Structure 1
Amino acid sequence: MSPSKPTSRQFEMQLEIAAPRGAVWSAISSDTELRRWFAPDAKVVPRVGGEILWRWGDLHAWPQVIEIWEPGSRLRTRYDSSIVDGEGGKLPLFLDFFLEGEGGRTTLRLVHSGFGPEATFDEEYDGISRGWPVELRSLRLYLERHAGLDRRLAWCTTTIDLAPAEAWERLTGEEGLAAGSALDALTEGDPFRFTTPAGDVFEGLALCCESRAFSGVATSHGDGFLRIAVEKCGGEHQVWLWLAAYGPAGPGLDELEARWSTMLERLFSASGSMSAGV
């Protein structure tokens, strides 16, 4: 007898955070706290049946319905995938956050489930599998080093028609960020440093290093969160530049964003459309 095929897929990860369970719960369930580490805009109706909305400007909105609301312990939401169910709706996906721990340490476990084995789910599954390790490290960085502080962003994206490998080479090459190929060889905890042609110095410690995607703690910017990526979103490939800073490191981000915007326009103007800020 041949082995049965799996009927669903799920992504699961956990992270240890040096913060009380109540602080971690607030970070995933409060709109004010969510805006300090995750989506630039967030709204939460805090009850079973209430809605959570995460929004990245005009690029992406992620509405969800709360199914389980157990403060300090578990949050579960449901939302529509992009896959039709054959009955006029969309197949649902589910997101669970489980919290455990006492004192000043918390184990956060995330389970993102409901993905079918079909190839039609591949883009969504691959996207969240690459995204959550980055985003939860942003959460950990916020709680361990910047708890209670508002976040400021320098953020630019552009949609491209180039092959992702070529776009990454342009972005990190001498005419772009001048980061070189070193980013591709880093692992979590490795030091990084590069200076752009505009004179901006980025230095710190690597967090997530995937193919054509890098994130790190920018010690050069007050332990800010730096993200550089070429990724697929909504069927299109995008270049993504993001620096989140807190406290005294916040000033100057508008100017940095303007320099990034100019750079992306120069590198990719013939192949896509630009967005800057929120």
Structure 2
Amino acid sequence: MSVKQEANGRRSIQTEFDVPGTPEDVWQAIATGPGISAWFVPAVFEERDGTPIAVTYQFGPGAEIRGAVTAWDPPRTYTAEQIEGWGGAPPMATEWSVEARAGGLCRVRIVHSLFASTDAWDEQLQGAESGWSGFLAILRIYIANFAGQSSALTQLRSSAACTDAEIWAALLDATGLQGIRVGQHVASPAGVPPFSGIVEYVTGSPYDALIRIDEPAPGVLALGVAGMPGGPSMVGVNLYFYDDQAADTLAREAPVWQAWLHERFPLTAEPDDSV
């Protein structure tokens, strides 16, 4: 979707999608720390007198985004505005809204906006929009299958000095997932940390695949590749586990996957934790 321009300098871009559940169900998933941490990244809300005043998203070591909550109307809408922009960009505000629809669904709308006198930051707005696709697919899986359950997640990364397409092909080949399609039951081959489940999402733009797993525990296995500006492409494995044993399962499985990932895709350079 293209960036919308307004006369007052506000520039915005919007994403809409449908998820199963009531507005209260969806609100718990998108507007609470435990809910967001179950499908996106670890998140914590700060409260004053019972009302959220700020939220922090943890994308990795040294990569936090903190936003002031500037509007709060549960279970309908809230807005969080970055305390400061990245790389000199104006702070970006993100508005979430939930609307009940027919058939037991809710329409969720995400609007990213900032104020600028030029189009210099439009690419950042468009990047924010495109970056949601895989995470929103995880949100649908979470609400449909695991809503309200205890959860634990980790985001594992390595890198490779090849094109994104070459790395993606190598990742699918290494995990035995060549030619996968939505709805297919898959299982890990020998030499790969054990998993089995149903393919829920596959895309080549960007390169992402999501498997709703039942082995080694209920959850989601997310695989992806993303090119990094001025650097190597990053290979990602995200693990999301759900049930009362989620934290124990993650503690056991994460080191196995990290070792496998670094063996298959050795780091080409040390990550820069300053960004």
User: Would you say same fold, with TM above 0.5?
Assistant: yes
Q: Report the TM-score when normalising by structure 2.
A: 0.77
Residues 166 and 148 of structure 1: CA distance in aligned 2, closer, same or farther (over 3 Å):
same
Distance 2:38 2:23 in 1: 17
Classify the secondary structure of the residue corresponding to 1:196. coil
| Identity among equivalent pairs (%) | 18
Give 1:57's aligned amino acid: G
Q: By how many angstroms is 1:52 displaced?
A: 0.9
AA paired with 2:69? Answer: I
The residue number in structure 2 matching 1:144 is 144
CA distance in 1, matches of 2:52, 2:148: 28
Letter in 1 for 2:57: W
Q: Does 1:93 align with 2:86?
A: no
Deviation at 1:61, TM superposition (A): 1.2
1:24, distance to aligned residue in structure 2 (A): 1.8
Rate the CA distance shift 1:45–1:139 in 2: closer, same or farther, 3 A.
farther
Q: State the partner residue of 1:262.
A: 259
Partner of 1:87: none
- The aligned counterpart of 2:18 is 15
Number of equivalences = 257
- State which of 222, 227, 230 in structure 2 corresponds to 1:227: 222
Q: For 1:96-111, what aligned pairs fall within 5 Å after superposition? A: 96-101=95-100, 105-111=105-111
Return the alpha-carbon distance in structure 1 between the equivalents of residues 95 and 23 of structure 2: 16
Q: Classify the secondary structure of the residue corresponding to 2:38.
A: coil
Question: Is 1:133 aligned to 2:129, yes or no?
Answer: no
- The amino acid across from 1:13 in the alignment is E
Aligned to 1:40: 42
Instruction: Find the residue that maps to 1:33 and give its secondary structure.
Output: helix
Q: 1:120 to 1:106 in 2, by over 3 A?
A: closer
Shift of 1:208: 4.6
CA spacing shift, 1:9–1:196, aligned 2, 3 Å:
farther
Cα drift, residue 198 of structure 1: 2.2
**Residues 49-98 of structure 1, C-alpha deviations (whole Å, 9 max, x = no match):** 821111133162121121211111111122244353xxxxx313221111
Please report how far the alpha carbon of residue 165 of structure 1 lies from its aligned counterpart in structure 2 after TM superposition. 2.2
Distance 1:231 1:115 in 2: 28
